[in-house]
Amino acid sequence: MNTPTQASTAGDPPAGRRPILSARNLVRRFGRVVALNGADFDLEPGEILAVIGDNGAGKSSLIKCLSGADLADEGEVFLDGEPVRFRSTLEARAAGVETVYQNLAVCPAMDISDNLFLGREMRKPGLAGRVFRKLDYAAMRAMSRARMSELGLMTIQTITQPVETLSGGQRQGVAVARAAAFGSRVVILDEPTAALGVKESRRVLDTILELRQRGLPVILISHNMPHVFEVADRIHIQRLGRRVAVVTPQTHTPNEAVAIMTGAAPV
Amino acid sequence: MAAATAAADAHADFGMPERLVDRVRAQLHARAVLGPLSVLVLSIVVFAVVSDHFFAFNNFSLILQQSMVVATIGIGQTLVVLTSGVDLAVGSTMTISMMAMAKLSAGGTNGVLALLIGFVVGLVCGALIGFFVTRFRLQPFIVTLAALYVYKALELWYSRSANVRGTDISPVLKWTGNTIHLGTTQIPYGAIIMLAAFAAMAYALRQTAWGRHVYATGDDRESARLAGIRTNRVLLSVYLLCGLFCALAGWILIGRNQGGDPQAVTKDYNLDSIVAVVIGGTSLFGGRGRILGTLIGALTIGVFRSGLPLAGVSDIWKDFAIGVLILAAVLIDQWVRKVAR
């Protein structure tokens, strides 16, 4: 009943593949403002799904409802087919939905390894860890190093570098690595390239592609059409609080996508 | 490929700075205790040169005794400052805990019990501050300013502004003033307790997850929260510990004074503890600093207070020197933090 009238069937999920994260008929009101008006959402395993939409289209509200930062008034969210109801970002993360926020959420004075393990530090085995709660810095650094170099983000010497001494793109890299490092099932990236220069953006896009290489599905919220069309497998177009279309870079041009997004073109 | 470019960039971005000033700054940024320690060593050298009486073991023992109360409070103050707060009620908390210990003991309560109750008073004082800071999201500055007056009034009411004489109280409470002999020098147990407390907290801050969470909460509270840290719990634990260390300082002060002095509340303990933290290189913006810096800071205050009179400088200039030290410490902090930009 609430199936969006599709502009193309190219964006439809291939038959037989169950979405890893999906939502049906989400409604979110703020007073008289309706931010989400029966929005649907589907993320396929292993894909990069871009979410685009004009300001006020309900992009952020949708993402907040998926990442646990906000609760929808109506509608359902499914993770791997199971209905879920995240009351906090912590619950979402515990279930494997990691979000990289626009403000990065890293602690600038702390080093890369500390940031990667923030809130889930590893203790030393045995008495030192159990009784004296001693942290296992060596293990955490080794693991951080491994993760960062897997993503092609860091040289081994720099793992104890405070994050504030890194460039914007490298900080973004730390945030992405943190989201990807801990057995997560879905990574949500909110405007990861918005504050970055050309070269820095390049590196972040490479990292996103790297995540897909490793089979991790990514939701990419972005205003940057060239970036979206370069990396996305499918593009979810949000307009007036609902999903109006799902297109692919193969079937639509950026201009057509923007036309759908702004309502200039009929869906 | 990507790794190779990253490596090249990393080298370009964080290669060793060329200029000496930048190298010094990078070192200070990486090792927070280096600056305060050089100030302490330098001031000891200067006073040793200008005064014949300064560089003596007995004088160092005296400096340690004069610094131990401020240093102990400074442990709690450091925790609060690391979370980007400040505690103006430490002097009041210490005095009210101390007077509880002294008066209860003088009234016939068992010494150990009086001591424990004193610690509970300190914890309650800290808990109340922590409650207002976390529950109502009030500025620590304002909450502790209010607590400064409330606790002070309660303390003066409870003690009736009357001294408790040392002869009336249990030896348990005065034990911190007993000394052990190290050659010709005497070290009070209070100083040893203080040093042990520093060692314990240095471990807790550096080696446990709780310590990392204290730094993270002060560094960027929202980021810490998003990373899954229960920042309110961290803050509450910090104010509780601060109250506990204030009570500990009260116990040490009973030993030093050999009695309970209700007027301790009017002394400079609040500001001195903040000065020790700041001179110790901990940033008032939170999230950076080392607790051992506070020990160095407290000792530096002690060295100046002892060294200037010995060098024949008038009393007035002690405060002047401390003021200059604070300004220098804050300027250095500002300069060092620019590494990030």
Write out pLDDT tens, residues A150-208.
777 765 567 888 888 887 778 888 888 888 877 689 999 988 888 777 877 888 888 88
pLDDT at residue B4 is higher than 50? no
Query: How far apart, in whole angstroms, are the C-alpha atoms of residue B256 and residue B261?
Result: 11
Chain A residue with the nearest C-alpha to that of B285: A109
Residue of A109, A123, A155 with shortest CB distance to B7 = A155
Instruction: Confirm if A42 and A13 have CB atoms less than 8 A apart.
Output: yes
Look up the CATH number of the domain holding residue B134. Answer: 1.10.3470
Cα A68 to chain centroid distance, Å, stands at 12
Instruction: Mark yes or no for CB contact B209/A121 under 8 Å.
Output: yes
Question: Which of the residues B1, B28, B29, B207 would you substitute to probe the A interface, choosing the one with the greatest number of A C-beta atoms within 10 Å?
Answer: B207
Is the model more confident about A17 or about B21?
Answer: B21
Q: Which of B196, B205, B229 is nearest to B81 (CA)?
A: B205
Helix (H, G, I), strand (E, B) or coil at B75: helix
Instruction: Confirm if B340 and A164 have CB atoms less than 8 A apart.
Output: yes
Assigned domain for B59 exists: yes
* Span A85-112, average pLDDT: 85
Q: Which of B230, B335, B238, B219 is nearest to B287 (CA)?
A: B219
* Dihedral pair phi/psi, residue A73, rounded to 5°: -75, -35
Assigned domain for B310 exists: yes
Instruction: Mark yes or no for CB contact A133/B210 under 8 Å.
Output: yes
The model's pLDDT over B269-307, given as tens digits with 9 standing for 90+, comes to: 999 999 999 999 899 999 989 999 999 999 999 999 888
Instruction: Confirm if A24 and A2 have CB atoms less than 8 A apart.
Output: yes
Instruction: Mark yes or no for CB contact B6/A153 under 8 Å.
Output: yes
Q: Are strands B185-188 and B259-260 parallel, antiparallel or unpaired?
A: unpaired
Residue of A109, A135, A167 with shortest CB distance to B209 = A135
pLDDT at residue B245 is higher than 70? yes
Tokens 């001494």, located at residue: A165
Taking CB atoms and an 8 Å cutoff, what residues of chain B touch A184? none
Chain A residue with the nearest C-alpha to that of B211: A135
How far away is chain B from the Cα of A255, in angstroms, using its nearest Cα? Answer: 31
Q: How confident is the model at residue B97 (pLDDT cuts 50, 70, 90)?
A: very high
Q: What's the confidence (pLDDT) of residue A11?
A: 41
Instruction: Confirm if A44 and A60 have CB atoms less than 8 A apart.
Output: no
What is the ipTM, given to two decimal places? 0.80
Residue of B6, B229, B288 with shortest CB distance to A109 = B288
Query: pTM here?
Result: 0.84
Assigned domain for B9 exists: no
Assigned domain for B89 exists: yes
Q: What's the confidence (pLDDT) of residue B9?
A: 41
Angle at B71 between CA B193 and CA B258, to 5 degrees: 60
Q: DSSP character for B289? A: -
Assigned domain for B20 exists: no
Q: How confident is the model at residue A238 (pLDDT cuts 50, 70, 90)?
A: very high
The model's pLDDT over B188-197, given as tens digits with 9 standing for 90+, comes to: 999 999 999 9
Q: How confident is the model at residue B134 (pLDDT cuts 50, 70, 90)?
A: very high
pLDDT at residue B151 is higher than 80? yes
pLDDT at residue A106 is higher than 50? yes
- Pick A21-96+185-262's CATH classification: 3.40.50.300, 3.30.56.10, 3.40.50.2300, 3.40.50.720: 3.40.50.300
Considering its fold, how many domains does chain B have in total? 1
Mean pLDDT (chain B, rounded): 89
What DSSP string describes A126-193?
SHHHHTT--B-HHHHHHHHHHHHHHTT---GGGTTSBGGGS-HHHHHHHHHHHHHHSS-SEEEEESTT
pLDDT at residue A129 is higher than 90? no
Q: Which of B207, B283, B201 is nearest to B248 (CA)?
A: B201
Assigned domain for B93 exists: yes
Token digits for B219?
A: 């560094």
pLDDT at residue B76 is higher than 70? yes
Q: How confident is the model at residue B110 (pLDDT cuts 50, 70, 90)?
A: very high
**Beta bridge partner(s), residue B185:** B182
CB contact A102 to B (< 8 Å): no
Taking CB atoms and an 8 Å cutoff, what residues of chain B touch A90? 228
Domain residue limits, chain A: 21-96+185-262, 100-166
Q: How confident is the model at residue B340 (pLDDT cuts 50, 70, 90)?
A: low
Taking CB atoms and an 8 Å cutoff, what residues of chain A touch B10? 154-155, 157-158, 170
Chain A residue with the nearest C-alpha to that of B15: A158
Assigned domain for B182 exists: yes
pLDDT at residue B1 is higher than 70? no
Residue B170, C-beta contacts closer than 8 angstroms, at least 6 positions apart: B105, B110, B111, B112, B114
Instruction: Confirm if B118 and B103 have CB atoms less than 8 A apart.
Output: no
Q: What's the confidence (pLDDT) of residue A29?
A: 92
Q: Is A131 exposed, middle or buried (0-12, 13-18, 19+ CB in 10 A)?
A: exposed
Range of the domain at B285: 34-334
* Span B57-79, average pLDDT: 93
Residue of A89, A106, A133 with shortest CB distance to B208 = A133
The secondary structure element, H or E, covering residue A77 is strand A74-79
* Dihedral pair phi/psi, residue B331, rounded to 5°: -65, -40
What DSSP string describes A2-54?
-----S-STTSPPTTPPPSEEEEEEEEEETTEEEEEEEEEEE-TT-EEEEEE-
Return the number of CB contacts < 8 Å for A and B: 101
Query: How far apart, in whole angstroms, are the C-alpha atoms of residue A28 and residue B306?
Result: 67
Q: Where does chain B have alpha helices with state H?
A: 2-14, 20-30, 34-50, 57-82, 90-106, 111-135, 140-159, 171-174, 189-207, 209-219, 221-226, 231-257, 269-279, 291-310, 316-337
Chain B residue with the nearest C-alpha to that of A114: B212
Q: Is A105 exposed, middle or buried (0-12, 13-18, 19+ CB in 10 A)?
A: buried
How far away is chain B from the Cα of A85, in angstroms, using its nearest Cα? Answer: 18
Instruction: Mark yes or no for CB contact A118/B5 under 8 Å.
Output: no
